[in-house]
Structure 1
Amino acid sequence: MTARVLLLATGDTMAYSTRPGREGLASGADLLRAVPAESLGAEVTVVDVAAEPSWDTGAATMLALARRVRSAILADGFDAVVVTHGTDTLEETAFLVDLLAGPAATRGGIVLTGGVRHLDDLGSDGPRNLASAIVAATAPELRGAGALVCADDELHAARWVTLADATTVRGFSSAPFAPVARVVGDRVETIGAAPPRPPEAGGPPEPDVALVKTYPGMDPVLLTSIVDAGARGVVLEGTGLGNVPAYLFATISDLIEWDVPVVVASRCRTRRADLTELPLGVGLAAKLGAIGARDLAPAKARIALMVALGGADAAGGALAAARDWFHRWR
């Protein structure tokens, strides 16, 4: 039986034509026509989704895509969903899709892809990435792997993928982890294991979560002003294993007393250890009540805290919900 695939096309660079007289965005159907029919091997339904440019994508757009992906598999009976997306924030949208997929991750394939070159550029990578994404989305070997990002024939887990180089078609990386798989022609070769599935979301994600990069000499009032402006949670991007300046500790303590969760991530690659498991100097923030992001990059930690805070009502508060969610996800 031919697999049924829903293609959600959001435009952006891979769909943009710069040829004089033909400037503008191609539709999802136009993108699909750029892929040789013999390369598809699936029945593809195309839906164009109105979306901001990737660099300006809002939480509402990301959430709408995540919900559409989930319902396409669980309610509409599609075997797989492919989303075309701009590369700037592709990893954040992919991660939110992954966190909200729930049982859809085991019932169908979910792949997001994009391109760093325009549709009519010489050697455009968009059509190839789209063709490979459709192959991967319908591959039984990847069922249960959750949301994946397809670039240059490689499939990266949403939890690990990052755009490490915006100047090349090979810019996405899962390092230090291996890609989950690669596409070879019309088949998939697995390479590494997918990460563990995340806990189920307890409710709609909380969009008002701030990400703050710490730096020597920063004024602690920056944190309180963010909360005064409405932030329901804060992710601090620290250094090393998760160090933040000691003069922020009093403010971190205040935020936690106000039931505003503080998650500490690092700008570096780190182990999957919690703050409480790290050496005393690094783990001091945990003694104040801060939560460790484990191995999540700061931008991913923000998405995770948004999802964690969706269960705040059931958990009895924002801090309790955040601690519970991060504790359950190993």
Structure 2
Amino acid sequence: MKRVLLLATGDTIAHSRRPPHVASGAELLAALPSAAPAVEVVAEDVMAEPSWDTSPSTMLGLARRARSAILERGFDGVVITHGVDTLEDTAFLTDLLAGRAAERGGIVLTGAVHPMDDPSADGPRNLAASLAAAADPALRGAGAVVCVADGLHAARWATLADATSVAGFSSAPHPVLGHVTDGKVELRAVPPPRPPVTAGDPETDVALIKTYPGMDPVLLTAVVDAGARGVVLEGTGTANVPVDLFTTIGELTEWGIPVVVASRSRTREVPLDDLPLGSGLAGKMGAIGARGLPPSKARCALMVALGAGGVAAVRDWFARL
């Protein structure tokens, strides 16, 4: 029988309102529907902040526990229950750090938008589907995935598009990776390429700054003065940032602080230097393109890339992402 580790972090999937209660991992398993998958599940409770405030250290801890569960403890798969607010961030960071574990087992993250005692509770179904998916050999090699409403979304593509819907995650413009049907994984698309591996430890102190016309460049130097080892800028359009920031971007790059530019819009997975001159000017000043990643995921990627070294190493890592 397949063995799956359940890492339970609380949040909405484990909440009851009457009376107020946060279910343990064992209690989540006890609430599964009668048609739950026939797998051996070991539940472990993990202390974590609410999803909207999940710290980088907590995300990294979950990623490392998932990896070691497969590589060192012999589990066939791992399921992490998580609040939906930052589920996609933890999923992507877990994917970036999975390494060889992604080839040996399934890693699935899931959550819920309704509490356990809600008449429309979606948590039990999501957890049952996630356990089945994590144990299914079909997910080997796919990396970390998000499982909600029986859909499977590659961590690199998953986005919380509607925080009020039980099917609120989307992979658009990419396809849904697959579905869980009758306790089996049916893959419908080719997973994204596996990310590059780094030997060093990720850096947790990375700032994410939303840019806007007329912003003062001092905002960039302020976060560096406060200890940030890297900066992600959320630009507009095809990763445009205000011209007033160009000099500071160049200075930070010279100081060994990598600056990655993402966009609040969907963009192509190309380097900044490959964009037309007007859109790629930040790249001429030393900025690194986010390769189409949304800003929050670009932050996760920069955290991992900094484990490879300084600006040049980060630039090379993103070029292979």
- Check whether TM > 0.5: yes
Q: 2-side partners of 1:309 and 1:200: how far apart? A: 12
3-state SS of 1:39 partner:
coil
Q: Which of 140, 143, 146 is the aligned partner of 1:146?
A: 143
Q: Which of 239, 246, 251 is the aligned partner of 1:249?
A: 246
Q: CA deviation at 1:37?
A: 4.8
1:274 aligned onto 2:271: yes
3-state SS of 2:4 partner:
strand
Matched pairs, number? 321
The corresponding residue for 2:80 is 83
The corresponding residue for 2:9 is 10
3-state SS of 1:223 partner:
helix
Q: Give the conservation status (yes or no) of the 8 Å contact 2:33–2:125.
A: no
Q: 2-side partners of 1:188 and 1:127: how far apart? A: 18
The corresponding residue for 2:211 is 214
Q: Give the conservation status (yes or no) of the 8 Å contact 1:7–1:47.
A: yes
Q: Give the conservation status (yes or no) of the 8 Å contact 2:105–2:139.
A: no
Superposed, which structure 2 residues align to 1:265-304 within 5 Å? 265-304=262-301
Q: 1-side partners of 2:35 and 2:153: how far apart? A: 25
Q: 2-side partners of 1:113 and 1:251: how far apart? A: 40
Q: 2-side partners of 1:25 and 1:158: how far apart? A: 26
The corresponding residue for 1:63 is 60
Q: CA deviation at 1:154?
A: 0.4
Q: 2-side partners of 1:36 and 1:122: how far apart? A: 14
The amino acid across from 2:260 in the alignment is V
1:319 aligned onto 2:311: yes
Q: CA deviation at 1:38?
A: 3.8
1:161 aligned onto 2:158: yes
Q: Which of 189, 192, 197 is the aligned partner of 1:192?
A: 189
Q: 1-side partners of 2:154 and 2:137: how far apart? A: 16
Q: 2-side partners of 1:213 and 1:153: how far apart? A: 34
The corresponding residue for 1:99 is 96
Q: Which of 10, 22, 40 is the aligned partner of 1:25?
A: 22
Structure 2 segments unaligned to the other structure (5+ residues): none
Q: 1-side partners of 2:199 and 2:283: how far apart? A: 24
Q: 1-side partners of 2:218 and 2:33: how far apart? A: 56
Q: CA deviation at 1:191?
A: 1.4
Q: Which of 110, 113, 136 is the aligned partner of 1:113?
A: 110
1:328 aligned onto 2:320: yes
Q: 2-side partners of 1:58 and 1:51: how far apart? A: 8
3-state SS of 2:147 partner:
strand
The amino acid across from 1:66 in the alignment is A
The amino acid across from 1:274 in the alignment is P
Q: 1-side partners of 2:315 and 2:256: how far apart? A: 11
Q: 2-side partners of 1:256 and 1:216: how far apart? A: 22
The corresponding residue for 1:315 is none
- For residues 28-61 of structure 1, the C-alpha deviation after alignment (integer angstroms, 9 at most, x for no partner) is 1111111135422100000011111111110111
- The percentage of counterpart residues that share the same residue type is 66
Aligned Cα RMSD in Å?
Answer: 0.9
The amino acid across from 1:325 in the alignment is W
Q: 2-side partners of 1:224 and 1:196: how far apart? A: 35
Q: CA deviation at 1:247?
A: 1.1
Q: Which runs of 4+ in 1 moved over 3 A?
A: none
Q: Give the conservation status (yes or no) of the 8 Å contact 2:260–2:290.
A: yes
Q: 2-side partners of 1:196 and 1:175: how far apart? A: 17
More moved, 190-199 vs 319-328: 319-328
